[in-house]
Structure 1
C-alpha cells in the first residue's frame, strides 16, 4: 500500500522546476505501471512546440543527469529528455461509461527553502536536497494525492474510463497548454482540478473557485550596440535605457473599466560595467485581468510600448510568450457533486456552498476550456491545507492530513460518477454528447 506521507516527503526532498520534473515524472510512471494503468508519457503526452518558457538545453541536460543520479528510472526518463515530462495514466473499466479526468501538477519553484528549526521539513529531515529549488506551492502534495487516488481507484468497478493527468510546469502557467494541444483532454467528459491550501484551512473543501485571472507572461530582449561610455558614448545604442523607458511606460498604463487588471515588470537586467554602453537588456512582464479580452488588450499595449521604446533608442527587440492562462468558469453540477463527496470524508468539517476566491492565475484553465468547448463539464476545487507561511514563501509547508482528505475527495467523486452505485447524472453530458472534430 502506498504510504502517502513518505511519498510526499520524498518528492519534497527532490523538487524539480517546470519541464525538468524528470525524477518526479519517472516515479509517477513507475507507480502507475505497478498499479496496472495504461501510461502515456514523454513525447506522446506533450506537444513540443506548444511548450512555453522552456529552460535552456544546458539546464534541461543538467536536470536530467541530476534526476538519474537521484534514482530516476533510466528506461523511463530517457523518453522525457528535453523537457517532455507530462504523464497520463488511464484506467479503463469493464463497463461502458463516460471519461472522468483528474489533473495534478508536479513542478517546484526556484526558492531557497528555510533551514529554521521550526520549519517542519527541516526539523523532520525532509528539506529540499536540490539547493535553490523548493516545493513552496504544494505541488508535491498534488502529485502524491494523484498517486494515492490511482491506487484507490484500482479497487473500484469502473463504469467508463479514468484519466489521471500529471502536468509539468504549472508555475509560470506554462505546461497545461502543451498537453491540451497534444489532445490529452479531447476525450474527457468531466474534469476535476484542485489546489491544496490557498488560505483555506485543513478540513474545509470548496467544490468550485472563482476569480482566477487571465494572464500573459512575456520575456522581452532589447539589443543595442556596445561602446565606451566615456570616449564614444554617441556610438552606442543603450539597450538598458530602452528597457527602462519601456518599464516606466508599461507601469503607466491605465486601469480598465471592463475588468479588474494587474500589470508588473518583475525583472529588468542588462549591461556589464559602468563604462560600457549596455548592448543587451532583458525584461520580464506580466499582464492579468478578470477579462480575457481586456488581458489581450493590455498585452497589445505592452507590445506597442516595447516597439516604440526600442525605436526611440534605435534598438532591435524580441518578445517571447513564456506563459499564459485564461479565466476559469466552474460547472455548477460538478461543484455540487464535489461538495457532496467532500461531506462524506472524515476530517472534512466545512463545505461552504460559496466558491473559493483567488486572484492568481492557473493554466489548468486551458484544460477546463477544452473540455467545456467539446461539450463536457469541469471544475476547480480548493482542498484546505493549513500552512505556517504563505504560498511561494521559504517556510511554506502543508498540514499532511490534507493528503488523505484529498485522496478521499477525489476517490469519492469517482465512486459517485463511475461506480455501479453512481449517483444519477442525467443533468450531465454523456460521453456521446461531446463535440466531435
Structure 2
C-alpha cells in the first residue's frame, strides 16, 4: 500500500494551487500543458505532446501490461462573483494533481509494465477523449483508470466508490429563422418567442421509461432587440439532454426531432439545429471495477467502501471504452466533502482527499500489474 509522505503532500498542494489559479478553457490549455510537461519531465517521464492539440502523454516503466491514468485538464467558462472567467469548478485541477501524485508514488517503484498518464484536453466540450482515441493513445492500453471528485450528497468525505455510472448527456444548439414583424401586425408572421415557449412546453411532454432517469430542458433562448415595437422573427436556443442509458438518449432525440419538424410546419419557419456535444453513458467493466474496489479496501478499509454510484452527470471518459471495446476501464468516485456542488462557481472540497485518491490509484495500478 502507498502512503503520501508529508513532503509529497506539500508538493502536491503547491501543484494544485498553481493549476487552480491558472485555469484555461477547452482547447486553450497551452500554459497548463507546458506546466505539466516541464513537471513530469523533471520527474523522469517520457513525454509526448501533439502538434495540433493541447494535452500530453507521460510514461514510466516498460512493456506490458499498459495501464493508463486519465486526468482532464480544462476549466469551465462561467460567471464568478459577477465576472465571466475560466474557473476550475469541476475538479479538473484536483484530477491533474492526483495523477501527479500517482507519478510521485510510483516513480521509484519497480513496475511490471508501463504506466501511461493521459492529460486530456476539452472534457467540458465532450470532445477531448475522442481526440485522444483518434491519436491512438489507448490502442495498446490494457486498463484505464480515471477519477472524479464527488459531491457530498453522493459519496461522503473519506469514502470512495470503484465506479461512477455516468449517464449520457447531449447539447443541442439551434436557431429559429423567420422575419421580424411590426408590433401592430402579429398576423403577418411568427413570433420567435412564442415558438420558443411552445418548444419549452412540448419538451415537458417527453416521457421515457420511468425506471430510467432522464431530462431535457431549454438552457438558452435569445430573441429580440432594443425596439419594443418589433416582434422578433429570429432566435437562438440551446437544449441540455440527460439520460441514464444510451438507448434512452436516442429515444429522446427521436421525439425532439419530431417536435422541431412539427414547429417548422406549423409556424412556417426554419429551425436548423445540430448536436454540439454528445457524451455517452458509462459501460461497466467488472475486471477494472473489481481492481479499483480492492485498492479502495486496501487503502481505506471495507467500512469506507461505497458500491458503484449512479449519477446523472456525464463525462467523455466513457468514449474510450465505446470506441475501444476491448479496453478495461473504470473511474474512481472520490468522496471529498465537495459543496455546494459540481460547476458551482465557488465550489470547495477537502484538499486532503487528493492524497487518498493518489494512494488508491497507485495501489490499483500495482495490484493490476501483479495480478
Which bin holds the TM-score, normalised by the shorter protein?
A: 0.7 to 0.9
2:61 paired with 1:110? no
Per-residue CA distance 1:29-67 (angstroms, 9 max, x = gap): 222232333333334xxxxxxxxxxxxxxxxxxxxxxxx
2:168 paired with 1:214? yes
2:352 paired with 1:401? yes
* C-alpha distance in 2 between matches for 1:32 and 1:15: 19
How far did 1:307 drift? 2.5
2:57 paired with 1:88? yes
| Unmatched 5+ stretches in structure 2 | 1-6
- Does structure 2 retain, via aligned residues, the 8 Å contact 1:191–1:368? no
2:31 paired with 1:23? yes
How far did 1:295 drift? 0.8
Q: How does 1:284-299 map to 2 (within 5 A)?
A: 284-299=238-253
- Does structure 2 retain, via aligned residues, the 8 Å contact 1:207–1:336? yes
2:186 paired with 1:178? no
Compared CA separation, residues 262 and 359, structure 1 to 2 (3 A): same
Per-residue CA distance 1:242-299 (angstroms, 9 max, x = gap): 3332222122222335733211111211221322232431111122222312211211
Return the match for 2:16 from 8, 26, 29.
Answer: 8
Which residue is 2:4 aligned to? none
* C-alpha distance in 2 between matches for 1:300 and 1:332: 32
Which residue is 2:268 aligned to? 314
- Does structure 1 retain, via aligned residues, the 8 Å contact 2:73–2:96? yes
* C-alpha distance in 2 between matches for 1:331 and 1:187: 17
- Does structure 2 retain, via aligned residues, the 8 Å contact 1:242–1:315? no
TM-score by length of 1: 0.75
* C-alpha distance in 1 between matches for 2:272 and 2:31: 33
Which residue is 1:156 aligned to? 109
Which residue is 1:261 aligned to? 214
- Does structure 1 retain, via aligned residues, the 8 Å contact 2:208–2:252? no
2:64 paired with 1:97? yes
- Does structure 2 retain, via aligned residues, the 8 Å contact 1:242–1:310? no
* C-alpha distance in 2 between matches for 1:251 and 1:394: 28
Compared CA separation, residues 279 and 178, structure 1 to 2 (3 A): farther
Return the match for 1:341 from 284, 291, 295.
Answer: 295
Return the match for 1:392 from 343, 346, 363.
Answer: 343
Per-residue CA distance 1:148-180 (angstroms, 9 max, x = gap): 223333222232222211222323534322322
Q: How does 1:19-418 map to 2 (within 5 A)?
A: 19-43=27-51, 84-93=53-62, 96-113=63-80, 132-171=85-124, 173-199=126-152, 200-210=155-165, 212-230=166-184, 233=186, 237-256=190-209, 259-272=212-225, 273-345=227-299, 350-352=303-305, 354-371=307-324, 373=325, 375-418=326-369
* C-alpha distance in 1 between matches for 2:97 and 2:338: 17
RMSD: 2.6
Per-residue CA distance 1:111-142 (angstroms, 9 max, x = gap): 34469xxxxxxxxxxxxxx8533222211101
How far did 1:399 drift? 0.6
TM-score by length of 2: 0.87
* C-alpha distance in 2 between matches for 1:213 and 1:274: 42
* C-alpha distance in 2 between matches for 1:8 and 1:264: 35
| Unmatched 5+ stretches in structure 1 | 44-78, 116-129, 425-437
Which residue is 1:126 aligned to? none
Flag the structure with more relative contact order, 1 or 2, with Cα contacts below 8 A and sequence separation at least 6: 2
Compared CA separation, residues 31 and 318, structure 1 to 2 (3 A): farther
Compared CA separation, residues 170 and 298, structure 1 to 2 (3 A): same
* C-alpha distance in 2 between matches for 1:87 and 1:234: 58
* C-alpha distance in 1 between matches for 2:205 and 2:211: 18
Compared CA separation, residues 298 and 338, structure 1 to 2 (3 A): same
Which one has a larger percent strand, Structure 1 or Structure 2?
2
* C-alpha distance in 2 between matches for 1:193 and 1:242: 42
* C-alpha distance in 1 between matches for 2:132 and 2:193: 36
* C-alpha distance in 2 between matches for 1:40 and 1:311: 52
